[in-house]
Structure 1
Amino acid sequence: MAWRGLTWDHPRGYGALRAAAGLQALIDWNTHSLEGFESAPIQDICSRYDLVVLDHPHLGEAIAQSCLRPLDEVFDAKDLARIAAASIGRTYDSYHMDGRQWALPLDAATQVMAVRADLLAKVDSGHAGQLNQDTPTQAAHGPVNVPKTWDEVRALSASTGKVALSLAGPHALLSLLSIAAAIDPTADLRNGDRWHTKATITQACELLLELAARSPASVRALNPIGLLAHMTTHDDVILCPLVYGYVNYASASLAQPLAFHDAPSAKPGIPGSILGGTGIAISRRCEPDAALREHLLWLMSEATQTGFIPLHDGQPSNVASWADPQVNALSDDFYRQTTRTLAAASVRPRHDGYIAFQDRGSALLREGIAAGTSASQLADALAQLFADTHSSSRTPA
């Protein structure tokens, strides 16, 4: 009888897993929506599935409810150490909490910049001259210059009205946190015991409010998948400065493939971004056998990450895979052009209560955008909302 697994319903989420499982009829992979992946109660999912593809902010809730199996109970320490050393950025560490490893980093992603290079090439030369000249990308019209800083993004938004924000679901808050990470790259929120200073969040809210006011209405309700798909078929969005990268939308098979680049920085330097991607976890109901252990280790191997996974619509987490020339050639340099952002990406808070905060904080931001709430008021409201997820006061970062 096959193990039961749950992932999300996009080819990046299920393509490689189903293809790999089909080789041995080992795992029956089911899917749920991106919204389910982002917000569904982890305890309920783990009560019904043996293997769960999840995001690192769910760890606090999962640990509090004892619904995941620590991976040191399943794998040898040397195997975990090898996977840790081979994983890009903080992808492996993001699933390490309370001294134990809770998931294997199957897939790596972070918020990056998505660009319609053909449309950016058409921006009038007067404005294009203001953009940084160090980041060319190719378009049908020749090389174009991609914004590198938030000031450059702001200028492009003001001159075209075609710079979109990802604001649906939890992504309003995630976009805000990426802006805040660019403003203060030293802030470490991963343990959930700290929040950004009011000055940082107020500055981030000011920029978010300004860009949201000009973001095309056609994409305001779309999740990252819908937003990226829209950009490949419509001409009303030139650029989205922060959206979770999906290599699938860089495919040359699309009529208008997207180019992906590093997220903006507050000033020339470190791009600000909030880590996403997925980990594969084992629920407490599952008693892994040798075949399942070997299958999961095979998924994490460099050969599989570099060969099998990209060829089946997946997005690897192996650092060598991200640098591989053939993998990049198949994706218009998606990996090479966003590696710096992924390597620097910040880990979200992971305490029990964060997922609800992420949803409520995003709703608060959308309401504030619609109502014209000031950046300072939004910053105060978010700080209070974050404090409400704890039973005791915390110290700001």
Structure 2
Amino acid sequence: MSARGLTWDHPRGYNALAAAGGPVTWETQPLEGFESAPIARLCAEYDLVVLDHPHLGEALAEGCILPLDQVFEAEDLARIADAAMGPSFASYAMAGRQWALPLDAATQVMALRPDLTEARPTTWDEVLRLSGQGGVALSLAGPHAALSFLSVCAALDAGLDLRDGGWVAPDVAREAYDILAELAAHSPASTAALNPIGILNHMSAQDDVALCPLIYGYVNYAAPTRAHPLRFANAPRAGGRPGSILGGTGIAVSRRCTMTDALRAHLLMLMSETAQRGLIPDNDGQPGLAAAWADPRINAAWGNFYADTADTLRAAAIRPRHNGYIAFQTAASAHLRDALSTRRPAAQAVDELARMFHASIEKAQA
């Protein structure tokens, strides 16, 4: 009997899973659904669900996914943990247990059109100077206003760790907001409503955006066969680490799933080094294991995407994961877009963000 799986409708999210065959029939949902659809509803319909780590709090509160120690042997999970790229495996650990396999690793990095700019900024000060010349876009649509804000905060505060309910220090938040406000004032209107896929498609096809300093990296747009391949680089720094908020995807097993030996073996195959260095990157996927990111063959095929952004992924911060964080992320992004468009003062804008965040924590604990 075939298991029913749900992933997202981009070549990076679907093609390799489809090419793997096996005992899973994969269906897709749009990126916006992947980012915000209620996880309990999806788990009621599917045996396997590809999700992002901020959904864990909601999933655990609903009791709709299985802890993986009930699915796999401890030595299999330990092997994957040791082999995972950066914090990808750790991002799916919560309440003392592991809840998803890190199929795909990603974080916010810098995207450039090398035929339009020779600039290779490495700091936020350099990005700000460059933005005054035009052609520097921000990713602010959907949840990405909040994610861009948090990434700048992570550059300013090398110790920022949001996974257990902490929030950003007020002085860091104000400085991060001011950086975004200056960039937003120069960001082209043509990309304002676009999600990361839309921005990268736009950059590949149009000539008005030469650089986006923070956008979730998609290896597909670095393919040398594209008419205008993009170059990806580490996210900007502010004296410490390249600031970025972890993305990527994990495969979770829903409570409705009847696990078979064939399905268990198939999932372990997807997380094997053989598949992660072959099947996954050869079919438009973005591997979750460190060995694939360091593989010279893979880097040569994909414009050095992996080697050029690996430092950012290793340093990426994990988002909050409490029940209600997804709703906060949506509301915070809308608040930030409004604050940036109306040029609201930094203190006022970030004080409201902090209030919203702490209210979401209190609601989760009620």
Question: Following TM superposition, by how much is the alpha carbon of 1:390 offset from its aligned partner in structure 2, in angstroms?
Answer: 2.1
Distance of 1:384 and 1:178 partners within structure 2: 19
Residue number in structure 1 paired with 2:28: 31
Question: Following TM superposition, by how much is the alpha carbon of 1:320 offset from its aligned partner in structure 2, in angstroms?
Answer: 0.5
Consecutive unaligned residues in structure 2, runs of 5 or more: none
Matched, 1:106 2:106: no
Question: Following TM superposition, by how much is the alpha carbon of 1:253 offset from its aligned partner in structure 2, in angstroms?
Answer: 1.4
Matched, 1:362 2:359: no
Which of the numbers 349, 352, 357 marks the counterpart of 1:381?
352
Matched letter for residue 356 of structure 1: A
Residue number in structure 2 paired with 1:154: 128
Question: What SS is found at the alignment partner of 2:362?
Answer: coil
Matched letter for residue 340 of structure 1: D
Matched, 1:225 2:222: no
Which of the numbers 51, 76, 80 marks the counterpart of 2:77?
80
Question: What SS is found at the alignment partner of 2:115?
Answer: helix
Distance of 1:285 and 1:40 partners within structure 2: 18
Residue number in structure 1 paired with 2:265: 294
Question: Following TM superposition, by how much is the alpha carbon of 1:392 offset from its aligned partner in structure 2, in angstroms?
Answer: 7.7
Distance of 1:255 and 1:57 partners within structure 2: 35
Distance of 1:354 and 1:62 partners within structure 2: 12
Residue number in structure 2 paired with 1:54: 51
Mapped contact 1:387–1:393 kept (Cα < 8 A): no
Distance of 1:244 and 1:41 partners within structure 2: 22
Matched, 1:258 2:255: no
Distance of 2:364 and 2:43 partners within structure 1: 31
Kindly report which structure 2 residues correspond to 1:118-197, keeping only aligned pairs within 5 A, or say none: 118-121=115-118, 145-158=119-132, 160-191=133-164, 193-197=165-169
Matched, 1:239 2:211: yes
Consecutive unaligned residues in structure 1, runs of 5 or more: 122-144
Kindly tell me: are residues 118 and 70 of structure 1, through their superposed partners in 2, closer, same or farther at Cα, counting changes over 3 Å?
same
Matched letter for residue 207 of structure 2: D
Question: What SS is found at the alignment partner of 2:26?
Answer: strand
- After superposition, the C-alpha distances for 1:126-149 in whole angstroms (9 at most, x for unaligned) are xxxxxxxxxxxxxxxxxxx40000
Distance of 1:299 and 1:357 partners within structure 2: 33
Distance of 2:31 and 2:315 partners within structure 1: 24
Matched letter for residue 82 of structure 2: A
Which of the numbers 276, 296, 307 marks the counterpart of 1:325?
296
Distance of 1:57 and 1:91 partners within structure 2: 12
Residue number in structure 2 paired with 1:126: none
Identical residues among aligned pairs (%): 60
Mapped contact 2:177–2:346 kept (Cα < 8 A): yes
Question: What SS is found at the alignment partner of 2:215?
Answer: strand
Mapped contact 1:309–1:315 kept (Cα < 8 A): yes
Question: Following TM superposition, by how much is the alpha carbon of 1:393 offset from its aligned partner in structure 2, in angstroms?
Answer: 11
Which of the numbers 349, 352, 357 marks the counterpart of 2:323?
352
TM-score normalised to the size of structure 2?
0.98
TM-score normalised to the size of structure 1?
0.91
Question: What SS is found at the alignment partner of 1:119?
Answer: coil
Kindly tell me: are residues 116 and 331 of structure 1, through their superposed partners in 2, closer, same or farther at Cα, counting changes over 3 Å?
same
Matched letter for residue 175 of structure 1: S
Mapped contact 2:322–2:364 kept (Cα < 8 A): no
Mapped contact 1:178–1:274 kept (Cα < 8 A): yes
Distance of 1:56 and 1:63 partners within structure 2: 12
Matched, 1:13 2:13: yes
Matched letter for residue 148 of structure 1: T
Superposition CA RMSD, Å: 1.1
Number of aligned residue pairs: 365
Question: Following TM superposition, by how much is the alpha carbon of 1:391 offset from its aligned partner in structure 2, in angstroms?
Answer: 2.2
